[in-house]
Amino acid sequence: MKRRHVMSLLLAVVMVFCATSGLIHAKVHVQFWHALGGHIGSHVLQGFVDEFNASQDRVHVEAIYQGNYDDTLNKYRLAVQAGETPHLVHVYEIGTRLMIDLGSTVSLQPFIDRGDLGLEHIVENVLAYYTIDGQLYSMPFNTSNAILYYNKDMFRAAGLDPDKPPKTFEEFREYAKRMTGDGKHGFGNYAYGWYFEQLMAVQNAEYVNNGNGRLAPATEAVFNSEAGVRILQWLADMKNDGSYLDCGRDGSALRSAFVAGNVGMRIGSTGGFASTLADIGDRFEMGAAFLPVPEGLERGGVVIGGGSIWMSKDHPEEEIEAAWEFLRHLTTPESTAYWHVNTGYFPIDRRAMELDNVKQLHTDTPHFRTAIDQLEASRISPATQGAVIGVFPEARKAIEVAIEQVLLGLATPQEALDEAAEEVTAAVRRYNIQRGF
């Protein structure tokens, strides 16, 4: 017993000596703020972080949920003012211009230029969104776009071919009318500005001027064009003929109605595909398809959604390098495959498509390919790259108000969008003055 006690003391002395001599190094701590709640955040993302922490002995990442995208961005802005930023922060795609202009982050381009990471395998459309003035400022992470979810059983009951989803606005409206009745609606929707942005891109129409703010800082909103009016008129027509289930701004209510089998078609993010399938279970067969485009127009494409991860600059070099090590880990084929299989978000590295777990998923559930195919079919243009403005959260809310006004019969599509465009233009110009543009 005494001998065991002596050995323990000797071991403790050796450990202290090694630590003080630099022979044992503590892991570098990296704080990572993110905006992914629910199962994706607490299980899928946390599982990924745990795996990274256990895979090496240099870096320890602490993932901290900060609320939704708006909450996370607002908390980060306060952290910048206080000089207490996390090493990494997860920001939705429409925060890109604001994050650059805050001047509190490190561009990733110097790390890439020194040969740490090759971008040749990253999906081109994803890089196109986050590359501004030739610089990749943040690491694409949970990348999505909007697709059409539909109930194949309701298609069959209405005499529609479940393997031929609607391709045009006009065809879509006809399908919706045929599936409406007995307490069910052919189309369900909620006022969400991101869907409007996607339907603009499908028409290859820009949201703001100056090449969607990519050729020069935007100075004016242009979404009150013929393309924008077309979207709101399409929604209003379905509301007026009774085929539209209006869920206000409640995305959860729409999801519940669809999962229950009371809505034939809805627009939704690819990021919720896996969980939607799980919730439906064996209630009905779900299909997935490209978003429709107005008849007679050549399809543009879709804008990526989701978020990316930014590195804050006001940290010791050792900690910045540790944060970069985690970001590099995020982009491996294995990592992007794990993310895709467990969520439905895109595998941003094309090599992930060749891995067995992804191949098996696409064999068992071909719908997971739909969003990938839709993105790959998108032509890269300023419209499909997406707008970059520093007041995008406010712009999105203005569009949502416009949608509500039209659906309530308080304004025509043109009137509602003209008012929203005037509001957004004023906000953009105030922002430009503040930033010295």
256-282 residue pLDDT tens:
999 999 999 999 998 888 889 999 999
The two structure tokens encoding residue 90: 């997860």
Beta strand segments in 153-294, E: 185-189, 244-246, 263-269, 286-289
The model's pLDDT over 282-333, given as tens digits with 9 standing for 90+, comes to 999 999 999 999 999 999 999 999 999 999 999 999 999 999 999 999 889 9
Count of CB atoms within 10 A of residue 404's CB? 16
2-143+305-364 maps to which CATH number?
A: 3.40.190.10
The model's pLDDT over 209-250, given as tens digits with 9 standing for 90+, comes to 999 999 999 999 999 999 999 999 999 999 999 999 999 999
User: Lowest-pLDDT range, 57-71, 86-100, 265-279, 401-415?
Assistant: 265-279
Q: How confident is the model at residue 25 (pLDDT cuts 50, 70, 90)?
A: low
Count of CB atoms within 10 A of residue 292's CB? 23
Domain with CATH 3.40.190.10 in the chain: 2-143+305-364, 146-303+368-435
User: In CATH, which of 3.40.50.450, 3.40.50.150, 3.40.640.10, 3.40.190.10 is domain 146-303+368-435?
Assistant: 3.40.190.10
Backbone phi, psi, residue 147, to 5°: -130, 170
- Mean pLDDT for 187-201 is 97
Q: What angle do CA 300, 303, 304 make, to 5 degrees?
A: 145
State the Cα–Cα distance between residues 249 and 272, nearest whole angstrom. Answer: 17
The model's pLDDT over 375-388, given as tens digits with 9 standing for 90+, comes to 889 999 999 999 99
Q: Strand 286-289 and strand 305-312: pairing? A: unpaired
State the Cα–Cα distance between residues 216 and 116, nearest whole angstrom. Answer: 30
Count of CB atoms within 10 A of residue 182's CB? 6
Q: Name the residue type at position 330.
A: L
